[in-house]
Homo-oligomer: A and B are copies of this chain.
Amino acid sequence: MTGRLTQFYQRARKIFDLSQVRQTLGWDQNVMMPPRGVAQRAQQLSALAAVIHAESTDPAFGELIAELELGGTLDERARADVREARKAYDRAVKVPARLVEARAEACSLAQAAWESAMPRNDFQAFRPHLERVVALTREWADALGGTARYDALLEDYEPGMTEAQLRVIFTDLKASLLPILDAVRGASRRPDPSVLARHFPEQGQRAFCLGLVQDMGFDLEAGRFDVSTHPCTDGTMRDVRLTTRYHEDFLPSSIFSTIHEAGHGLYEQGLDPERFRDPAGQACSTGIHESQSRLWENFIGRSRPFWTRYYPALCRAFPGTLDDVPMEAFYGAVNAVAPSLIRIEADEATYNLHIILRFELEADLIAGRIETRDLPGLWRARMLESLGLEPSDDRTGVLQDIHWSVGLIGYFPTYALGNLYGAQFMEQLRRDLPDLDDAVARGELRVVKEWLNRNIHIHGRRWSAPELCARVTGAPLSADPLLRHLKGKYAGIYGI
């Protein structure tokens, strides 16, 4: 069995290594690639997708997995790796190579089309590309089989989660969020977010954000920190690449994107270095990944202790700019609730409503209940119904996110799940570290990193997301911690 196990790990790691090559190419395309390189990059990604697919579906690999499953002498680690490999193998063999290649190329072209169409507010130019991505994704989901197309897609991001479960979770969540939003709307005390729209030169933002990344404990010898239109994190372990973006007239964009992406990056750097290339050594789920970025962004980065430590440094980074703004006013500003058209600028109270809107649209789109031509109109109607706002153009409407262009359908819900998991982890972190606020107020952010390293990162995919949640917090996933957090925060800021 040892020889078989060695062969199994060789094959599984080869597939992983090739998938990391794809990650590096993805980062390169976002951050470095010259604009005219799009078409040939698409061809390269297609070739790479084909070889990854061939390796992932090699019947000899399937036989190895089957033999190891029957062997019965594996330790817990190996059993977990075989279990994860089985899930991935069974999914991979269901999708024909032709479809894998066609989808990879379509997504690469659609991403470029989106990048060009979005600033020009030209949904019609983007639509044929989106149409093709959706058609191929439907075909993909059908090939995977199962009860519902959308569930088949979810499995890639949040294994075990279903559209039906999400509808229950999101219906309850929306029902609890809307009253909070109403209470905030009716509050007499209000923070003034306009201070965030003063002029903050990029150089000062860069230095401040770099300092945050370092204080969080992100290892820049094992990673990078760059700029891209759409902030993201790519890579793993000793080569983790974060990006952010700088708007000189809107400070929070860079700061909270940086903290968010560094939260993702710390997860990748915190995996088990002996296991990160193995099927069960990788990050648990997309929702758990997002819990890491959200915990850092919202529960640490938007907290009073955090700004107690960092507001003086921020003021020094922009001499004179914030002299008339007390720390409490700034803390209020970065937590101000203001329904907005743009998801990535949304506050904690409205963010999940943006996600719910996208979830409902993409679930309907994949099921064939709506078509791409319906999207701009439905987007406007739902936004009005949910947040009371109507986009004046598609750039601030249906074109605002890159996700669908790159084939990420079934992915949006994990943002909301991340908020829920993050809130629940945070409550446990507070129980385990009663003096957390003092540590954060001293800039000792590494205590957070170390708790996450120990409790979440190092375990990789050893357990499922619901199991990890239960083991870490002693309870199943619930929206209560998030709602408690929001009510507590807004009680202080809005006096509600």
Give every chain B residue within 8 A of A309 (Cβ-Cβ). Answer: none
16 contacts between A and B (CB under 8 A): A13-B43, A14-B50, A17-B40, A17-B43, A17-B46, A20-B40, A24-B28, A32-B32, A32-B224, A34-B220, A34-B221, A35-B221, A37-B238, A37-B239, A39-B238, A40-B236
Give every chain B residue within 8 A of A224 (Cβ-Cβ). Answer: 32, 34
Report which residue of A39, A40, A41 has the largest number of chain B beta carbons within 10 angstroms of its beta carbon.
A40
Interface residues on A, range: 35 or more
Q: How far is the CA of A247 from the CA of B13 in the complex (A)?
A: 42
Contacting B at CB under 8 A, from A190-230, are 219-224
Give every chain B residue within 8 A of A13 (Cβ-Cβ). Answer: 43, 47
Contact indicator per residue, chain A 82-122, by CB within 8 Å of chain B (1) or not (0): 00000000000000000000000000000000000000000
Interface SS majority for chain A: helix
Q: How far is the CB of A466 from chain B (nearest CB, A)?
A: 30
Q: Is the CB of B17 within 8 A of A277?
A: no
A residues engaging B (CB < 8 A)? 13-14, 17-18, 20-21, 24-25, 28, 32-41, 43-44, 46-48, 50-51, 55, 219-224, 235-239, 277
Q: How far is the CA of A388 from the CA of B238 in the complex (A)?
A: 46
Question: Would A40 and B223 be within 8 Å (CB), given that A18-B48, A21-B21, A46-B17 are in contact?
Answer: no
Q: How far is the CA of A24 from the CA of B224 in the complex (A)?
A: 17
Q: How far is the CA of A43 from the CA of B277 in the complex (A)?
A: 10
> Of the candidates B18, B34, B48, B239, which one forms a contact with A41 in the assembled complex, judged by CB atoms under 8 Å apart?
B239
Q: How far is the CB of A295 from chain B (nearest CB, A)?
A: 24
